[in-house]
C-alpha cells in the first residue's frame, strides 16, 4: 500500500518523484503527529491528496511511524 499508492507520486522507493522524498532523513523535521496530519489531510494547494477517506487515523499513524523508522530496501 505505502509503496504502491504513495510511490506513484513519491517514487517506488520513496526517494521522491512528483512529490518529495519520504525517506526518514527528509522527514526528520516533522514529528509523528505532523506526518499523520499530512497523510490524513494532504497538503493544501499541492498535489498531495488527503487520505482521510481511505485511511483511518490509526492507519495514517502507522504509516507515519513506518516512514520515520523503516528504511526502504535499496533499489
Is the four-CA dihedral 8, 14, 37, 43 of positive or negative sign? negative
Residue 47 vs 73, nearer CB to ligand HEC: 47
Distance, in Å, from the CA atom of 8 to the CA atom of 71, rounded to the nearest integer, reads: 18
C-beta of 12 vs 43, nearer to ligand HEC: 43
**For residues 25 and 70, what is the distance between their CA atoms, to the nearest angstrom?**
11
Instruction: Kindly tell me which of 47 and 74 has the beta carbon lying closer to ligand HEC.
Output: 47
- CB of 23 closer than 8 Å to CB of 72: yes
Report the interface residues with ligand HEC, using CB under 6 A.
Answer: 5-6, 8-10, 18-20, 22, 26, 35, 38-39, 43, 46-49, 51, 63
Instruction: In angstroms, give the least distance from the CB of 56 to ligand HEC.
Output: 12
Amino acid at each position: 500500500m505505502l509503496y504502491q499508492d504513495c510511490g506513484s507520486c513519491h517514487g517506488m522507493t520513496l526517494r521522491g518523484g512528483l512529490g518529495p522524498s519520504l525517506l526518514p532523513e527528509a522527514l526528520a523535521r516533522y514529528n509523528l503527529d505532523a506526518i499523520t496530519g499530512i497523510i490524513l489531510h494532504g497538503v493544501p494547494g499541492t498535489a498531495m491528496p488527503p487520505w482521510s477517506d481511505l485511511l483511518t487515523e490509526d492507519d495514517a499513524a502507522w504509516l507515519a511511524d513506518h516512514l520515520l523508522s523503516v528504511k526502504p530496501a535499496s533499489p
